[in-house]
C-alpha cells in the first residue's frame, strides 16, 4: 500500500511525536532545552543527522544486511554507521561551513548517543519503508524533535519569573511541562490517517 509522504511527515512530526509520545531523545530534550537559541541549533543538527542517517541505514540494510541474511546484526551495524556519519558530518561542516559548525558546537558529536537517531533507523526497518519513505520518516521525526525542544525551551525560559514550589525546582517542573505538552500532542492522535 502506498502511503503518501505528506501523511508520513504529519504522522511522525505531530501524531507520533518522537519525544512526547515515543520517549526517544529524552536526554537531550531535557538537557539542552534551557534556551531557545541553543535548542534550535541542536534541533537543526538532529534534523540534519537523522535525515542523512535514515537514508544511509536504509541503503546499508537493503543492500548489505538483508541479502547476506545478517539482519540480526542491525543494531551493531546501525550504531557504527551513525557514529561514523556524525563524525563525517562534523568534519565536512568544519571544512565547508565553519559558521554552522561553530554554532552547533558540542551538540554534533553528542547526537551519536541520541536514541532518536537509532530509533528512527530501527523503526524504518520495522515498518518496511522504502527509500523515499525512510528519508521522509526521518525528516518528519526530526522535525517533531525540533518543534518539541524549541517549545520546551520557550517554556523553560519563563520559569525564572514564576514561583515554582521548592520541591519541584529543577527537573520535576520540566517533567510537568513536558507532561502538559504531551497531553496537548495527544490531541493530534484524534486526527487519524
Partner 1 sequence: MMKTIKERLFNGIIKENPVLILMLGMCPTLAVTTSATNGFGMGVATMAVLIVSNLVISALRKYIPDNVRLPAYIVIVASFVTLVELLTQAYVYDLYKALGIYIPLIVVNCIILGRAEAFASKNGVFASVMDGIGMGIGFTIALTIIGLIREFIGVGSVFGLNVLPESYPGISVFVKAPGGFLIMAVVIAIMNACKIKTKANKMVEEGCDGACATCSKAENKAEDCASCPSKADCKEAKGGDK
Q: Choose, by CB under 8 A, the member of 98, 130, 170, 187 that binds partner 1.
A: 170
* Residue 15 engages partner 1 in binding (rule: CB under 8 A): no
Q: Rounded to an integer, what distance in angstroms lies between the CA atom of residue 186 and that of residue 153? A: 20
Part of the chain binding partner 1 (CB under 8 A), chosen from 22-30, 43-51, 58-66, 89-97 = 22-30
Q: Rounded to an integer, what distance in angstroms lies between the CA atom of residue 67 and that of residue 71? A: 9
Shortest Cβ distance from residue 148 to partner 1 (Å)? 11
Residue 141 and residue 51 in contact, taking contact as beta carbons nearer than 8 Å: no
Shortest Cβ distance from residue 168 to partner 1 (Å)? 5
Part of the chain binding partner 1 (CB under 8 A), chosen from 4-12, 48-56, 76-84, 143-151 = 76-84
Task: Show contacts with partner 1 in window 171-190 (CB under 8 A).
Answer: 171-176, 178-180, 182-183, 185-186
Please calculate the CA angle 14-20-21 and round it to the nearest 5 degrees.
Answer: 80
Shortest Cβ distance from residue 6 to partner 1 (Å)? 24
* Residue 35 engages partner 1 in binding (rule: CB under 8 A): yes
Total residues interacting with partner 1, rule: CB under 8 A = 51
* Residue 60 engages partner 1 in binding (rule: CB under 8 A): no
* Residue 21 engages partner 1 in binding (rule: CB under 8 A): yes
Q: Rounded to an integer, what distance in angstroms lies between the CA atom of residue 146 and that of residue 133? A: 20
Shortest Cβ distance from residue 81 to partner 1 (Å)? 12
Phi/psi region, residue 128 (left: phi>0; alpha: psi -120 to 50; beta: rest), is: left
Evaluated on CA atoms 47, 50, 53, 55, the torsion sign reads negative
Residue 24 and residue 142 in contact, taking contact as beta carbons nearer than 8 Å: no
Amino acid at each position: 500500500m502506498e502511503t503518501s509522504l505528506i501523511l508520513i511527515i504529519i504522522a511522525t512530526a505531530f501524531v507520533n511525536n518522537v519525544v512526547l509520545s515515543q520517549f526517544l531523545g529524552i536526554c537531550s530534550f531535557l538537557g539542552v532545552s534551557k534556551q531557545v537559541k541553543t535548542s534550535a541549533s541542536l534541533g537543526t543538527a538532529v534534523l540534519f543527522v537523522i535525515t542523512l542517517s535514515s537514508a544511509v541505514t536504509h541503503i546499508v540494510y537493503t543492500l548489505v544486511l538483508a541479502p547476506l541474511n545478517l539482519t540480526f546484526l542491525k543494531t551493531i551495524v546501525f550504531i557504527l554507521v551513525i557514529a561514523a556519519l556524525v563524525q563525517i558530518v562534523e568534519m565536512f561542516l568544519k571544512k565547508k561551513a565553519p559558521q554552522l559548525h561553530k554554532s552547533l558546537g558540542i551538540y554534533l558529536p553528542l547526537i551519536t548517543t541520541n536514541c532518536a537517531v537509532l530509533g528512527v533507523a530501527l523503526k524504518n526497518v520495522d515498518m518496511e519503508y522504502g527509500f523515499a519513505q525512510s528519508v521522509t520518516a526521518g525528516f518528519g521525526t526530526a522535525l517533531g524533535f525540533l518543534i518539541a525542544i524549541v517549545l520546551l525551551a520557550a517554556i523553560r525560559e519563563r520559569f525564572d519569573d514564576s514561583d515554582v514550589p521548592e520541591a519541584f525546582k529543577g527537573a520535576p517542573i520540566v517533567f510537568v511541562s513536558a507532561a502538559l505538552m504531551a497531553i496537548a500532542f495527544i490531541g493530534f492522535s484524534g486526527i487519524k490517517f
